[in-house]
Amino acid sequence: MHTLRRSVAALASSAVALSVMAIATPSQAAQATATDPTPVSASASWLVGNLKNDLIETSSVWEGQTFSGPSYGTSIDLVLGLSAAGQQPAQAAATTDAIEASLGEYAGSGGDIYAGSSAKAMTVALDQKRDVRDFGGIDLQARVESTVLTQAPVRGRLQDVSQWGDYANSIGQAFAASALTRAGSSSADEVTDFLLDQQCAAGFFRLYFNSNMTAADQSCDGASPAESAKQGSDTTSLVAIQLAPLASGNPAIKAALDKAGAWLLAQQRSDGGFADPSNGVNANTTGLAGWALTELGHDAAATKAATWLRAHQVVNGCDGKLAREAGAVAYDDLGWSDGVTYGIADPLDRSQWIIAGVQALPALVAAPAASTSDAVSTPKFAKAGTTVSFQVRGLAAGERACVFGAAGTQSLVGTGGTLTVKAPRATAGKRTVNLRTATGTTAATSHVLGKKKLKVRTAKSAKAGSKKRLVVRGLVAGERVTVKVRGTKVAAGKANAKGVFTKKVRVLRKRGAAKIVVTGQFATRKGQTKIRVR
């Protein structure tokens, strides 16, 4: 398996209503050329943390009973994904060892040969630079070649040799085309040609071959409507991923990939996601499509897919019962909400998240980076009972973050829009909002100032036109102060670190009693005194 074409870039209790804003800078919105390595690294770490004996283990229900055990196919997907994303090579090697040790259970034994599984095993062996002539004690190249039919009209087609029947399909065919080509097999061209025939006129690749193996035309265009009508982003993406390294110098493959890429682009939703015909928009389909789009050079679309995936990725310390699942990717919106509410301790639930994460992993390499560092800021002072705006900057598109503190505990996603979080009504005091992302935690504090009668002291009398020392107490550090004598502003400044404002104030020339009024940061914070001008 080749590496991705684009490399991994180094890459509340409160009493105030809060407005939390996720803001994208113009340069961030206009281009997403830089990538953020955090999402793919977090995903890889979470997946590796869920391995058992170096293999992916999943659970499923069959006829009312739950079965759990190693999933060799998904484990191979993990190895290929880690390799493509440049993540955890030591674990990829260890998982390959575990696959090799149990190869017969996956690829067939006792006379059974599962063509697609054998081709996929050969692909991971090549990816990990193992000997395909002796992998798990099996000559994988000869084994895959033995499943290739040689007679017209099905020349080049894979076929299972199994008591359970023939389940060969375009996905296994794609793995065989890639692996046999890389190994220099004489069967590679025929296998690839048969695979290309499975591309339908619209540009997608169908999953299943013709049921009638004697029909002269075994292509998608020559199939019955029922056999050629089913569109599948998953199949098309997997075929494109395997064929992309073979396109150089091969006009037929390049033309097929151009059509497949155009079809995939047309399937992408406005939010970047891709839908399975039966299950709606989900991480499996979006992950595979995003990876394929990267391989095909459609960087902008790949970035949008990665953005959708990242918005469904857990950030440590938020999101309810998913708080300890940092890096995990939800299958879809329902899976996310259920995970937040109930967690994913149940083996069936966890299996869905694991499989989704494996499929999403390589596509997360295209997650866009923010143009600035994560930060949260707010005005230093706020009036009690009003709305305080906490501005969040540095969240890339799709980047999920956790806000906690004065705003309660809330999840937000960087979209360039504005999110409003409401908290209880304000009372005076400091209000701090914390922003936690995958890279750390930052905070901002606003001083909520309530109504206050300030203490104002000065001389009882003064000569007209002279200056007298004025002292104001009851302020908070840095609070703005305005002084007026007989309604005329005569001084301004800020309170010191102890909340005291001291200033020599000029007494106006008109004789008689003069009222001195001092206003703090807000009009609700006032104090006054009188001085006799003589």
Split at pLDDT 50, 70, 90, the class of 65 is confident
**What distances in angstroms separate CA 214 from CA 183, 218, 219, one per listed residue?**
30, 8, 12
DSSP letters for 62-98: ETTEEEEEE-HHHHHHHHHHHHHHT--HHHHHHHHHH
Proportion of the chain above pLDDT 90, given as a percent: 71
362, 81 contact by CB (below 8 A): yes
pLDDT of residue 222: 83
pLDDT of residue 131: 98
509, 438 contact by CB (below 8 A): no
* Residue 418: pLDDT over 60: no
Split at pLDDT 50, 70, 90, the class of 13 is very low
* pLDDT tens digits, one per residue of 117-172: 999 999 999 999 999 999 999 999 999 999 999 999 999 999 999 988 999 999 99
Split at pLDDT 50, 70, 90, the class of 303 is very high
121, 107 contact by CB (below 8 A): yes
**What distances in angstroms separate CA 211 from CA 100, 194, 220, 225, one per listed residue?**
33, 15, 12, 12
66-87 mean pLDDT: 96
Choice among 184-193, 288-297, 410-419 with the minimum mean pLDDT = 410-419
* Residue 8: pLDDT over 90: no
393 - beta bridge partners?
A: 23, 375
* Residue 486: pLDDT over 60: yes
Split at pLDDT 50, 70, 90, the class of 16 is very low
* pLDDT tens digits, one per residue of 488-498: 999 999 999 99
69-83 mean pLDDT: 97
Which ranges constitute the DSSP H helices of 32-155?
Answer: 38-49, 72-85, 89-101, 103-107, 115-127, 140-146
* Residue 18: pLDDT over 50: no
pLDDT of residue 68: 92
* Residue 378: pLDDT over 90: no
Distance CA 389, CA 58 (A): 45
Split at pLDDT 50, 70, 90, the class of 230 is low
More confident residue, 70 or 417: 70
- CB within 8 Å of 501: residues ≥ 6 apart: 470, 471, 472, 475, 479, 481, 493, 494, 495, 518
The two three-digit tokens of residue 26, written as one number: 């113009």
249 - beta bridge partners?
A: none
| Mean pLDDT taken over the chain | 89
- CB within 8 Å of 386: residues ≥ 6 apart: 16, 17, 426
Proportion of the chain above pLDDT 70, given as a percent: 91
59-71 mean pLDDT: 87
More confident residue, 343 or 396: 343
